[in-house]
Structure 1
Amino acid sequence: MATLEIRDLHVTVEVENGTKEILKGVDLTVKQGETHAIMGPNGSGKSTLAYSIAGHPKYTITQGTVTLDGEDVLEMEVDERARAGMFLAMQYPVEVPGVSVSNFLRTSATAIRGEAPKLRTWVKEVKEAMAGLQMDPSFAERNVNEGFSGGEKKRHEILQMELLKPKIAILDETDSGLDVDALRVVSEGVNRVRATGEVGTLLITHYTRILRYIKPDFVHVFANGKIAESGGAELADKLESEGYEAYVKGGASA
């Protein structure tokens, strides 16, 4: 069973007037088959956690460890992290002009699997995954994220997750910018992957609406750069009614 372990993680970022510490000692364990929701107000460090784990060069890890199945993730290059089984669905996916979705997906799958997928089975696999996400087949010939709507970008991220089959998937505000119908379709895609029991999911959001579709096993409240409280799905209901004010003021502890 794959396990992502984060211990005492401290992360800084360069700002206008110097260096700012964003993460201030994060401890978290995500196992294959589990779904963890990370909730918290804007600016609390949720996305910093996602990008730090994925290896974004903007963030400097000053203390702590991140391991996947005992292997030091922080010593890996970004592509090595992906091949090890980590996946990040970005809040703001970037455009890749000149690269079609179909080429991007097959090249990614080849890099992850270590060999090119057989064309006949691959085409069937892609078509089935796209149909599940209610994506028109012509979508595959468009350039990656170029001119995509917010909903199309998020569906494409989940399409990648379905096809690449990671051990640990980090979904950074996958619900942002989605209308109700798109949210339902995207959530169904996430749930199909979860149903395999082969992925541990770290779902980052500050709204509870996506949790009506994707039921978490654990909910963690993120505030002031660390986890302020952890609990079950009922903790999300508490946040829905009471908000984050008590945590921002330091009214709760880990």
Structure 2
Amino acid sequence: MSLVVTDLHAQLEDGTQILKGVNLEIPTGEVHAIMGPNGSGKSTLSKVIAGHESYEVTTGSVTIDGADVLEMDIDERSRAGVFLAFQYPHEVPGVSNANFIRAALQARLPKGEELDAVAYYKDLYSKMDLLEMDRKFTARAVNEGFSGGEKKRNEILQMMMLDPRYCILDETDSGLDIDALKIVAKGVNAMRSPQRGILMITHYQRLLDYIKPDHVHVMAEGKIVRSGGPELALELEKDGYEFLKEAATA
């Protein structure tokens, strides 16, 4: 069981090419991290997998456990097991956190089946406790007035409740202080499972100090240019992306 990206090319609506042949496989049971310079296409990759309408796939494929993701609508991708944690989570005024997550879970149930409210809140509170979130957040509008750290914890809460097969975290560590980073990492680590694949997009080694990846990939100019184990992230922290310049001038 894997999320497989094969020779993926994608462009913006104005024709600007962003992804230029991405190849990546994330089997269930593994955590992968993508690092790379600004503008290399990391966030675009996550949005294309999730179905963002601003990008057009021109060549290549994305499959989940053999199913063609690119033929699915956004809600179908979610039901198929894809979850994207945004770098900049959106506010949803007028909709409480509890109702938002409950509606998302209800939408996945067979027609006519109702979510058990008692079991739902028991599960919700348990996961909020793990993420050190005050119970008052259940009644607050989604992300409205939240700090950066609260928004990121709220994204992880949604992910934990929806229980996806493939989690994509787009720079979830950006804007977090060290305490908030540790809490977010605790939530992500609690999601690690032989039945789940995780893709983390990050600029910084510090996230990988708390969430140990199985594989690290470097993305540059719209494609994966290097892959390795966790030691690759340490090398990048020490030496940066000088090897990209060396390769360009070789």
Considering the TM-score relative to the shorter chain, is it more than 0.5?
yes
Equivalent position amino acid for 1:235 in 2: L
> What is residue 229 of structure 2 aligned with on the other side?
232
Unaligned 5+ segments in structure 1 are none
- Answer whether contact 1:40 1:221 (CA < 8 A) is retained: yes
1:147 equivalent among 145, 148, 161: 145
Does 113-122 or 166-175 show the bigger shift?
A: 113-122
1:246 equivalent among 226, 243, 247: 243
1:120 equivalent among 118, 121, 126: 118
> Structure 1 residue 116: deviation in Å?
3.6
**Residue pairs, 1:98-177, within 5 angstroms:** 98-114=94-110, 115-177=113-175
Once residues 246 and 141 of structure 2 are traced to their aligned partners in structure 1, the CA distance between those partners, rounded to angstroms, is 45
Q: Does 1:216 align with 2:213?
A: yes
> Structure 1 residue 249: deviation in Å?
5.5
- Answer whether contact 1:223 1:248 (CA < 8 A) is retained: no
> What is residue 189 of structure 1 aligned with on the other side?
187
SS in 2 for 1:47: helix
> What is residue 30 of structure 1 aligned with on the other side?
26
Q: Does 1:20 align with 2:16?
A: yes
Once residues 117 and 192 of structure 1 are traced to their aligned partners in structure 2, the CA distance between those partners, rounded to angstroms, is 24
**Residue-pair matches, total:** 248
> What is residue 79 of structure 2 aligned with on the other side?
83
SS in 1 for 2:224: strand
> Structure 1 residue 145: deviation in Å?
1.0
Equivalent position amino acid for 1:3 in 2: S
- Answer whether contact 1:82 1:112 (CA < 8 A) is retained: no
- 1:58-116 deviation per Cα after TM superposition (whole angstroms, max 9, x unaligned): 01100000011111100000000000000000001111111100000101111234444
CA gap 1:104/1:48 in 2 versus in 1, 3 angstroms: same
Equivalent position amino acid for 1:229 in 2: R
- 1:155-194 deviation per Cα after TM superposition (whole angstroms, max 9, x unaligned): 0110011111100000000000100000000000000011
% identical equivalent positions: 57
Equivalent position amino acid for 2:44 in 1: T
SS in 1 for 2:16: strand
Unaligned 5+ segments in structure 2 are none
> What is residue 94 of structure 1 aligned with on the other side?
90
Equivalent position amino acid for 1:223 in 2: A
Once residues 89 and 219 of structure 2 are traced to their aligned partners in structure 1, the CA distance between those partners, rounded to angstroms, is 23
> What is residue 199 of structure 1 aligned with on the other side?
196
CA gap 1:157/1:248 in 2 versus in 1, 3 angstroms: farther
Does 127-136 or 105-114 show the bigger shift?
A: 105-114
**TM-score, structure 2 length as denominator?**
0.96
Once residues 228 and 252 of structure 1 are traced to their aligned partners in structure 2, the CA distance between those partners, rounded to angstroms, is 15
> Structure 1 residue 252: deviation in Å?
10
Once residues 75 and 250 of structure 1 are traced to their aligned partners in structure 2, the CA distance between those partners, rounded to angstroms, is 36
SS in 2 for 1:19: coil
Equivalent position amino acid for 2:6 in 1: R
1:48 equivalent among 44, 50, 60: 44
Q: What is the CA RMSD across the aligned residues, in angstroms?
A: 1.5
Once residues 194 and 136 of structure 2 are traced to their aligned partners in structure 1, the CA distance between those partners, rounded to angstroms, is 31
Equivalent position amino acid for 1:202 in 2: L
> Could you list the runs of 4 or more consecutive aligned residues of structure 1 that deviate by over 4 angstroms after TM superposition?
none
